[in-house]
Each structure stands twice: as structure tokens, then as C-alpha cells.
């Protein structure tokens, strides 16, 4: 039977769970509890949610050419993960599709989380920063995501991944 113990500190909370070997540490965005090799965030099919909101037009290319290029950009599949950079990698969990009537579905979160964990294993990542996917723009609550994450880790055999920094929401 799994035993869980919670250790508290003013700015972070560590959940020790003996049923798997991954340590989950809750900490705010501005207080990293350890160095990371990958950062997982919530995103949409067009990668708009993470885009810089300031508009800077400093190109000689005609605006219609730019719009055509954007239109030709392939849409990502909900539940998938877009990987950018390296050490730290950026894992963008595609969990929103603004072209659909209902733009967010919980099953996309769990598909993306599974893919993130698989990518951690294939890239031998030991430390992951994980935004609570589906809680910022979706309908999931932080506590529900955290509980489901621990259950997910119970079913996932981690060979490389040792610690997850679960970013806590502001005012948590």
C-alpha cells in the first residue's frame, strides 16, 4: 500500500509518495526547487497561447505573404506535444483547439501528459517543470490535476524521470 507524506515549507510543498520513484514538488513559478531539463506548458493547436502579445512589424515582407504563411502552418493535433529547444526542452502540451465548438477537453490533457512522460524517458530527462496543464485556460482545478498526476505516475514506470516541479498557481 502506498504511503504518502507531505512536507511543507513557506514557498514549496513536497509530496513524497512511495508507490513510484518520482518526487513531486509544488513550488511557485518564481521559486524553482531544483534545476530542470524540460519545461511543460499548456498550449493550443496554433501555438497562440504562448505567443508574444506585442505586435512588432519589422520586415520587408508584405502582410499578405505573412498571413499566407501563417495559414499554411499545419495545425497541431489536440493531445499531442510540440517539442522545442534543448536542455531545457520546451514541451508544449496541445490541449486547446479554438477551431472546435468546445475548445478544451480533459482527455487531451491526459494524452499530452502521457506523451510528456514518454518524451522524458526517451530523452533521459530527470527533472521536469510542469505547469498544471488544463488549469490556466481550461476547466481543470489545480487540486484535481495534482491528484490525477499522482495517479498517472502510479501507472507510469519512470526509468529516467526522478523529480517534477509542479508549478503552483498564484495565490495558492
Q: Write the DSSP symbol of residue 146.
A: H
Q: Residue 73, class by beta-carbon neighbours within 10 Å (0-12 exposed, 13-18 middle, 19+ buried)?
A: exposed
Minimum mean pLDDT among 42-56, 123-137, 150-164: which range? 42-56
Q: What is the pLDDT of residues 17-40, one digit of tens each?
A: 445 589 999 999 999 999 999 999
Strand partners of residue 96: 44, 104
Q: What values do phi and psi take at 146, rounded to 5?
A: -60, -45
Which architecture, in CATH terms, is 4-168? 3-Layer(aba) Sandwich (3.40)
Q: What is the pLDDT of residues 100-133, one digit of tens each?
A: 999 999 999 999 999 999 999 999 999 999 999 9
Helix, strand, coil percentages in the chain from 3-state DSSP, rounded to 5: 25, 25, 50
Residues 6+ apart with CB under 8 A from 74: none
Reported as a pLDDT band with limits 50, 70 and 90, residue 44 is very high
Q: What is the pLDDT of residues 63-91, one digit of tens each?
A: 787 677 767 777 799 999 999 998 899 99
Instruction: Provide the residue ranges of all domains of the chain, joining segments of one domain with +.
Output: 4-168
Where do the DSSP E strands lie in the chain?
4-8, 13-17, 23-28, 38-44, 81-84, 89-96, 127-130, 163-168
Q: Residue 142, class by beta-carbon neighbours within 10 Å (0-12 exposed, 13-18 middle, 19+ buried)?
A: middle
Amino acid at each position: 500500500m502506498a504511503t504518502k507524506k507531505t512536507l511543507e515549507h513557506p514557498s514549496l510543498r513536497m509530496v513524497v509518495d512511495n508507490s513510484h520513484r518520482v518526487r513531486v514538488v509544488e513550488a511557485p513559478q518564481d521559486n524553482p526547487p531544483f534545476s530542470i531539463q524540460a519545461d511543460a506548458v499548456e498550449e493550443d493547436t496554433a501555438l497562440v497561447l504562448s505567443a508574444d502579445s506585442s505586435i512588432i512589424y519589422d520586415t520587408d515582407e508584405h502582410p499578405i505573404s505573412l498571413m499566407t504563411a501563417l495559414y499554411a502552418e499545419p495545425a497541431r493535433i489536440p493531445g499531442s506535444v510540440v517539442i522545442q529547444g534543448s536542455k531545457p526542452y520546451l514541451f508544449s502540451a496541445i490541449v486547446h483547439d479554438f477551431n472546435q465548438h468546445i475548445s478544451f477537453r480533459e482527455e487531451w490533457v491526459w494524452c499530452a501528459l502521457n506523451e510528456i512522460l514518454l518524451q522524458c524517458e526517451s530523452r533521459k530527462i530527470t527533472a521536469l517543470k510542469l505547469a498544471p496543464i488544463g488549469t490556466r485556460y481550461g476547466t481543470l482545478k489545480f487540486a484535481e490535476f495534482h491528484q490525477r498526476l499522482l495517479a498517472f505516475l502510479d501507472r507510469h514506470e519512470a526509468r529516467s524521470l526522478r523529480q517534477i516541479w509542479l508549478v503552483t498557481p498564484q495565490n495558492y
